[in-house]
């Protein structure tokens, strides 16, 4: 605060304003209520003192005292406080009627000194003396009014009397308390003034104590803030000096500042090209950091902008924003309405932008912003931000200087390495490098020159180059070369040279003049190598090319060298293939100009695919040659960049053979179909009489037509047994025919094998009556029902079991059913101890009409269809069968029966 010093009055401390005349104090003529009034006032002062001492929040306590004074002391009580800027502001207004208080507050907005009479509060502030107005006249109201509306409002309040007492403490004026009477008609006198001054004195002490406490707390906060800022600067300096990677350290400093000294910290760096790059963003809400970082990528800074970051960079002066207003946001947003909305969404409240000042110019800007925490920066914190920016700038400057020094050092090392590399390169280049002065004296002789010519560098230095390396027959040509070099020309060609041992050879030599900075020839540098091996290689290459061409000519296919776009580059004809047009007419032309579109189009697509994938493309196409249709096969392979090799072969004969084979296949399938139809028809014709035989023998055996004798019964049983056997054979033939014709359907049902298989076993049990065979059952108790075709399961089981019975004279047959642990379904196994199967016969046991031994067929019987039907039935239900057998010991047939749950039955 900047309170005014209290002026010491030279006259009594009370100034009377009588208007027309001084009115008598009502208490002067009436003494009977004096004691009561005094008691009430003492009680009031006690209560006021308690309120004033109850809290250090003086605005609240003063407002409470104002309400306490109404209506005991006055009808109105108005408190004004002197602000830090010296402006008087209304702190509290009290009246018994709240609506009147509201009207008074609205008047305060129109008239800065509120409901003032004349210039009472201001006079009290100037003089430091209390002002007493025993009677408020209309002239006073006119003097206090700002305009006619204000005057009418003052008149409506009907003020009768007023007192204005300054709030003083320790020779400072803090404000005023104004007491006004209105509707009560009361007139204030000296006693009222004394009482009001006593109240005001207590209020002054309370305000002074609160201000002293507030100042002490502010000083403590300032000291703590200074300590924290110094600590932070120390920590930031440690971070900045910890690494020469200034980008990483600035990001760490930004993160360190949030939330201790900012809700958001931004570091922008000025690049060499003049652009501004957002280097670091730290925010208390880390989800906003990406958005803030993205802002300047979408809306780059305009370096000529009169405000914001560009101005700080240009001037090198910090910018302090005690409050972020719409105007401030507009300065940062410029003409971008969308950016303005984004900045509003950040809720910025206060900020500081400090330049990063380097040795020569500003290198960037460090921005600290307060937002959601509702904190505000004080001007006293500006030096802290500037110091932080200075230290950050120093770190950036040092890092850049170090980086520049490192780059210069690296450049020097690269230059030295380049010189060493060039010197090494001249030694390992594989060619002789010789340098002479302008007179032909040797000044450089590399390692390969030593090997090529036999002279060491020490022996060659200083000697004339033609003297030690030119062959005798090259003297005249050497003079011509030297003449051209002196004219500034470069010479290159074959030249006869000699070695130290006198042998000569042809070398490829390139000589060039060397100039000084003024363009004068100061020497010659020559590069040479032995051509002997090259000439031998060229001869070998010619012979290889002749050999390869002979091999190509021996290949019976046409070959084309093609570009990606189909242009024909080269061609090799074939003896037995006639081209569509003569070679002289298509070389250099495009495939689209020669081949029909239906051939050229696919060919170009295969060329593109070959170049894309690197894989050989094979396709076929037809062409009419000399009025005859021909078929060709093309193979396209990559042969170079954007080039392919196409090998064309005439496959007309092969295609014709394939067509003949296809025709024969169709004929065979038709014959097989006719066979199946024949078998079906024959089976049907055979089944009709057999069914009659079986039916009548059954009736006779059941004595339907009368009693029969034992010999007749035995004969009928034989007839019945053989007829059923023949019926089974016919059924097998019919089933096989239907399976091969694709007419056998699959009709899934729920089957419980624990009961289903034993019932089937009863059908075949008579086959075992004459054999000592034991049947063992191994069926799991926990097996679940299977969804499958019962007819197919019946065929599989009965055929496997009858096979085991037929080929087992004595021993055992084991029937097992187990769950398939890793698959949905069951395993059915039939194991016997019969004769077994030879290993060489195993691959053919499922072939139709196949018997592994003809003699066994005569002895045991059978057509060789049982296992075939088993295999076909298993395939129909999507199962699998496996066989293990040891000849002379027995066989095991293991069948996987899948669960066909969810599958609908096939339709024939």
Tell me what pLDDT residue 735 has: 66
Tell me what pLDDT residue 638 has: 92
Domain contains 229: no
Cα distances from 361 to residues 135, 391, 660, 898, in angstroms, run 71, 15, 92, 84
**In this predicted model, what pLDDT tens digit does every residue of 222-267 receive, in sequence order?**
777 777 777 777 777 787 777 778 888 888 888 888 888 899 999 9
Distance, in Å, from the CA atom of 334 to the CA atom of 297, rounded to the nearest integer, reads 15
Tell me what pLDDT residue 637 has: 92
- Identify the weakest region by mean pLDDT among 6-10, 165-169, 256-260, 291-295: 6-10
Is the entire prediction scored with pTM above 0.95? no
Please provide the average confidence, as pLDDT, over all residues in the chain.
Answer: 81
Tell me what pLDDT residue 578 has: 65
Residue 703 Ramachandran class (φ > 0 left, ψ -120 to 50 alpha, else beta): left
Select the more confidently predicted residue: 593 or 894: 894
Tell me what pLDDT residue 6 has: 41
Domain contains 630: yes
For residue 798, is pLDDT > 80?
Answer: yes
| Domain end call among 716, 744, 772 | 744
The mean pLDDT value for 13-26 works out to 46
Beta bridge partners of 792: none
Helical segments of 6-71, H only? 34-53, 58-69
Distance, in Å, from the CA atom of 306 to the CA atom of 719, rounded to the nearest integer, reads 122
Domain contains 894: yes
Q: How many domains does the chain have?
A: 5
Distance, in Å, from the CA atom of 869 to the CA atom of 239, rounded to the nearest integer, reads 87
pLDDT band at 709 (very low <50, low <70, confident <90, very high): confident
**Residues 877 and 766 occupy one common structural domain:** yes
**In this predicted model, what pLDDT tens digit does every residue of 823-879 receive, in sequence order?**
788 889 999 998 888 888 888 787 776 665 544 444 455 556 778 888 888 888 888
Tell me what pLDDT residue 668 has: 72
Domain contains 27: no
- Identify the weakest region by mean pLDDT among 335-344, 406-415, 473-482: 473-482
The mean pLDDT value for 883-894 works out to 90
**Residues 776 and 884 occupy one common structural domain:** yes
How many residues in the chain? Answer: 908
The mean pLDDT value for 427-434 works out to 80
Most confident of 108-122, 278-292, 406-420, 571-585: 278-292
| Domain end call among 385, 400, 415 | 400
Contact 792, 746 (CB under 8 A): yes
- Identify the weakest region by mean pLDDT among 150-159, 216-225, 641-650, 700-709: 216-225
- Identify the weakest region by mean pLDDT among 9-18, 48-57, 166-175, 447-456: 9-18
Distance, in Å, from the CA atom of 663 to the CA atom of 657, rounded to the nearest integer, reads 10
**In this predicted model, what pLDDT tens digit does every residue of 687-708 receive, in sequence order?**
678 777 877 787 887 788 888 8
Contact 432, 527 (CB under 8 A): yes
**Residues 783 and 864 occupy one common structural domain:** yes
Domain contains 838: yes
The mean pLDDT value for 476-495 works out to 84
First to last CA, the chain: 107
CA contacts within 13 A on the Cβ side of 857: 10
Give percent above pLDDT 70 in the chain: 84
Structure tokens at 412: 């020097």
Domain contains 8: no
What's the burial of 377, exposed, middle or buried (CB within 10 Å: 0-12/13-18/19+)?
A: buried
**In this predicted model, what pLDDT tens digit does every residue of 562-587 receive, in sequence order?**
899 989 888 777 766 666 666 666 77
The mean pLDDT value for 171-194 works out to 89
The mean pLDDT value for 895-904 works out to 79
Distance, in Å, from the CA atom of 605 to the CA atom of 54, rounded to the nearest integer, reads 97
Structure tokens at 667: 């004929």
Most confident of 203-217, 408-422, 554-568, 605-619: 605-619
Helix (H, G, I), strand (E, B) or coil at 600: helix
Helical segments of 70-189, H only? 98-110, 120-127, 138-144, 148-157
**In this predicted model, what pLDDT tens digit does every residue of 392-404 receive, in sequence order?**
888 888 888 888 8
Query: Do the bridges between strand 773-779 and strand 643-650 make them parallel or antiparallel, or are there none, so unpaired?
Result: unpaired
Residues with Cβ within 8 Å of residue 611, at least 6 apart in sequence: 564, 638, 642, 644
Distance, in Å, from the CA atom of 721 to the CA atom of 714, rounded to the nearest integer, reads 11
- CA-based angle 60:61:65, to the nearest 5? 120
Query: Do the bridges between strand 880-886 and strand 890-898 make them parallel or antiparallel, or are there none, so unpaired?
Result: antiparallel
Select the more confidently predicted residue: 559 or 829: 829
Tell me what pLDDT residue 741 has: 60
**Residues 340 and 259 occupy one common structural domain:** yes
Domain contains 732: yes
Distance, in Å, from the CA atom of 683 to the CA atom of 232, rounded to the nearest integer, reads 106
| Domain end call among 400, 416, 448 | 400
Tell me what pLDDT residue 616 has: 92
Tell me what pLDDT residue 112 has: 44
Instruction: Look at residues 127, 120, 122, 93 and name the one whose alpha carbon lies nearest to residue 188.
Output: 120
pLDDT band at 113 (very low <50, low <70, confident <90, very high): very low
Provide the residue range defining the domain that includes 597: 542-744
Select the more confidently predicted residue: 807 or 233: 807
**Residues 678 and 804 occupy one common structural domain:** no
For residue 138, is pLDDT > 70?
Answer: yes
For residue 426, is pLDDT > 80?
Answer: no
Tell me what pLDDT residue 873 has: 84
Q: Phi and psi of 79, rounded to 5°?
A: -115, 125
- H/E stretch holding 559 reads strand 558-563
Contact 747, 907 (CB under 8 A): no
Contact 507, 495 (CB under 8 A): yes
Query: Which DSSP category does 380 fall into?
Result: G
Task: Check which CATH number belongs to the domain holding 335 and give it.
Answer: 3.30.450.40
Contact 528, 431 (CB under 8 A): yes
**Residues 516 and 556 occupy one common structural domain:** no
pLDDT band at 27 (very low <50, low <70, confident <90, very high): very low
Tell me what pLDDT residue 721 has: 67
Residue 824 Ramachandran class (φ > 0 left, ψ -120 to 50 alpha, else beta): beta
Query: Which DSSP category does 356 fall into?
Result: E
**In this predicted model, what pLDDT tens digit does every residue of 615-639 receive, in sequence order?**
999 998 888 877 788 888 889 999 8
Distance, in Å, from the CA atom of 887 to the CA atom of 837, rounded to the nearest integer, reads 5
- Identify the weakest region by mean pLDDT among 425-429, 435-439, 560-564, 866-870: 425-429
For residue 116, is pLDDT > 90?
Answer: no
**In this predicted model, what pLDDT tens digit does every residue of 519-556 receive, in sequence order?**
888 888 888 888 887 877 777 888 877 776 776 666 76
**Residues 592 and 708 occupy one common structural domain:** yes
- CA-based angle 331:336:341, to the nearest 5? 85
Tell me what pLDDT residue 267 has: 93
Distance, in Å, from the CA atom of 393 to the CA atom of 365, rounded to the nearest integer, reads 9
Tell me what pLDDT residue 98 has: 79
- DSSP for 654-689, please give it: HHHHHHHHHHHHHHHHHHHHHHHHHHHHHHHHHHHH
pLDDT band at 108 (very low <50, low <70, confident <90, very high): low
CA contacts within 13 A on the Cβ side of 802: 25
Structure tokens at 16: 């009377």
For residue 17, is pLDDT > 60?
Answer: no
**In this predicted model, what pLDDT tens digit does every residue of 648-664 receive, in sequence order?**
888 888 888 888 888 88
Domain contains 908: no
For residue 324, is pLDDT > 50?
Answer: yes
Residue the block writes with tokens 């890092």: 399
The mean pLDDT value for 37-66 works out to 81
**Residues 690 and 653 occupy one common structural domain:** yes
**Residues 588 and 715 occupy one common structural domain:** yes
For residue 387, is pLDDT > 90?
Answer: no
**Residues 740 and 752 occupy one common structural domain:** no
**Residues 205 and 258 occupy one common structural domain:** no
For residue 308, is pLDDT > 50?
Answer: yes
**Residues 778 and 729 occupy one common structural domain:** no
The mean pLDDT value for 161-171 works out to 89
Task: Check which CATH number belongs to the domain holding 864 and give it.
Answer: 3.30.565.10
């Amino acid at each position: 605060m900047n309170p005014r010093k209290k002026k010491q009055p030279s006259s009594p401390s009370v100034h009377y304003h009588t208007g027309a005349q001084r009115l008598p104090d009502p208490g002067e003529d009436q003494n009977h209520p004096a004691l009561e009034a005094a008691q009430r006032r003492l009680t009031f002062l006690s209560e006021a003192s308690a309120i004033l001492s109850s809290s250090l929040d003086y605005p609240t306590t003063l407002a409470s005292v104002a309400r306490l004074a109404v209506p005991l002391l006055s009808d109105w009580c108005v408190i004004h406080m002197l602000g830090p800027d010296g402006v008087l502001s209304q702190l509290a207004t009290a009246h018994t009627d709240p609506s009147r208080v509201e009207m008074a507050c609205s008047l305060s907005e129109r008239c800065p000194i509120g409901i003032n009479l004349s210039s009472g509060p201001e006079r009290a502030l100037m003089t430091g003396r209390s002002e007493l107005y025993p009677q408020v006249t209309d002239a006073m109201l006119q003097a206090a009014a700002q305009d006619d509306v204000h005057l009418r409002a003052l008149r409506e309040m009907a003020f009768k009397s007023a007192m204005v007492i300054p709030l003083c403490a320790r020779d400072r004026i803090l404000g005023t308390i104004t007491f006004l009477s209105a509707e009560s008609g009361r007139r204030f006198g000296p006693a009222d003034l004394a009482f009001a001054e006593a109240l005001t004195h207590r209020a002054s002490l309370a305000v002074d104590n609160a201000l002293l406490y507030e100042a002490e707390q502010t000083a403590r906060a300032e000291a703590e803030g200074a300590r924290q800022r110094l600590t932070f600067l120390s920590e930031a300096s440690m971070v900045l000096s910890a690494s020469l990677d200034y980008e990483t350290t600035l990001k760490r400093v930004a993160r360190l500042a949030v939330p201790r000294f900012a809700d958001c910290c931004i570091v922008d760096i000025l690049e060499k090209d003049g652009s501004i790059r957002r280097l670091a963003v730290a925010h208390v809400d880390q989800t906003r950091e990406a958005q803030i970082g993205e802002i300047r990528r979408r809306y780059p800074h305009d370096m000529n902008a009169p405000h914001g970051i560009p101005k700080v960079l240009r001037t090198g002066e910090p910018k302090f924003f005690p409050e972020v207003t719409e105007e401030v946001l507009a300065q940062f947003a410029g003409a971008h309405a969308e950016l303005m909305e984004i900045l509003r969404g950040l809720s910025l409240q206060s900020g500081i932008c400090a330049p990063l000042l380097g040795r020569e110019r500003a290198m960037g800007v460090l921005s600290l912003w307060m937002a959601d925490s509702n904190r505000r920066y004080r001007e006293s914190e500006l030096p802290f931000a500037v110091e932080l920016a200075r230290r950050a700038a120093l770190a950036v400057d040092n890092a850049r200087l170090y980086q520049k020094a490192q780059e210069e050092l690296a450049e020097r090392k690269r230059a030295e390495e380049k010189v060493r590399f060039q010197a090494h390169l001249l030694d390992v280049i594989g060619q002789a490098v010789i340098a002479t002065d302008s007179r032909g004296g040797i000044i450089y002789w590399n390692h390969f020159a030593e090997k090529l010519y036999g002279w060491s560098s020490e022996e060659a230095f200083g000697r004339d180059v033609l003297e030690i390396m030119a062959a005798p027959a090259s003297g005249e040509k050497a003079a011509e070369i030297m003449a051209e070099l002196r004219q500034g020309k470069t010479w290159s060609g074959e030249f006869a040279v000699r070695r130290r041992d006198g042998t000569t050879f042809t070398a490829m030599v390139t000589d060039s003049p060397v100039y000084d900075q003024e363009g004068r020839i100061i020497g010659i540098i020559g590069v040479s190598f032995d051509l002997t091996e090259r000439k031998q290689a060229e001869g070998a290459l010619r012979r290889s090319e002749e050999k390869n061409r002979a091999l190509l000519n021996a290949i019976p296919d046409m070959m084309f060298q093609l570009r990606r776009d189909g242009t024909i580059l080269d061609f090799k004809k074939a003896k037995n293939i006639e081209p569509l047009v003569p070679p002289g007419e298509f070389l250099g032309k495009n495939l689209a100009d020669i081949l029909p579109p239906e051939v050229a189009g696919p060919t170009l697509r295969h060329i593109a695919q070959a170049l894309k994938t690197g894989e050989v493309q094979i396709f076929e196409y037809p062409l009419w040659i000399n009025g005859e249709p021909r078929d060709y096969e093309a193979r396209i392979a990559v042969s170079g960049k954007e080039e392919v090799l196409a090998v064309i072969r005439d496959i007309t004969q092969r295609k014709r053979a394939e067509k003949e084979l296809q025709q024969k296949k169709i004929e065979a399938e038709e014959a097989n179909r006719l066979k199946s139809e024949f078998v079906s028809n024959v089976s049907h014709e055979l089944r009709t009489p057999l069914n009659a035989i079986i039916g009548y023998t059954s009736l006779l055996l059941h004595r339907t037509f009368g009693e029969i004798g034992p010999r007749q019964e035995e004969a009928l049983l034989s007839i019945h047994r053989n007829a059923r056997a023949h019926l089974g054979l016919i059924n097998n033939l019919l089933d096989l025919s239907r399976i091969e014709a694709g007419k056998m359907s699959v009709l899934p049902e729920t089957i419980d094998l624990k009961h289903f298989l034993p019932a089937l076993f009863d059908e075949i049990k008579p086959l075992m009556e004459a054999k000592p065979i034991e049947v063992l059952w191994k069926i799991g108790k926990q097996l679940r029902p299977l969804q499958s075709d019962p007819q197919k399961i019946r065929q599989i089981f009965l055929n496997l079991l009858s096979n085991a019975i037929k080929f087992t004279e004595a021993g055992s047959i084991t029937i097992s059913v187990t769950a398939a642990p890793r698959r949905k379904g069951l395993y059915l196994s039939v194991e016997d101890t019969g004769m077994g199967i030879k290993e060489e016969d195993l691959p053919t046991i499922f072939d139709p009409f196949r018997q592994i031994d003809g003699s066994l067929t005569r002895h045991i019987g059978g057509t060789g269809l049982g296992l075939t039907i088993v295999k076909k039935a298993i395939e129909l239900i999507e199962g699998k069968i496996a066989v293990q057998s040891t000849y002379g010991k027995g066989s095991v047939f293991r069948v996987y029966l899948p669960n066909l749950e969810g599958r609908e039955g096939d339709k024939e």
